[in-house]
Amino acid sequence: MDHRLLIPVYNDLIDIKDFNKKSDSIFDLKEEKTVYFKIAGKGYSIPGEDCVFLPLPYSSAEELSKFFADITNYNFCHSSHLFLFCQLLIVLHYASFFNYKCKA
């Protein structure tokens, strides 16, 4: 699969099974084989490898822009932030390419 689901982990409307938003790390989520979550009472499951877990309350363009600005200004010596940044760039690249192809 060349698409990934962006999951804003700190969204109050998303309840991720066996994940405490106050004490657990989002980097532990990417180790999960399958991620189970609920949104508005509806349950979903998706392979963990098909998810990008965002340390954000929303996955809107505005929130992603602020996130990119924050981590760009952050010291990139922390490999976990660089890894997440690269994952998001790849996802956004494929999304923009797909939209371009669909409009043609």
pLDDT tens per residue across span 18-55: 999 889 888 888 888 999 999 989 999 999 989 989 98
For residues 74 and 61, the model is more confident at 61
Give how far Cα 62 sits from Cα of 8, 19, 74, 85, 90, Å. Answer: 13, 26, 18, 16, 18
Q: Which pLDDT does position 95 carry in this prediction? A: 61
Mean pLDDT, rounded, for 66-81: 65
Mean pLDDT, rounded, for 5-19: 93
Cβ contact 43:62 at 8 Å: no
Residue 14: pLDDT band (50, 70, 90) is very high
- Residue 63: alpha-carbon gap to chain centroid: 12
pTM of the model: 0.66
Query: 93 pLDDT exceeds 80?
Result: no
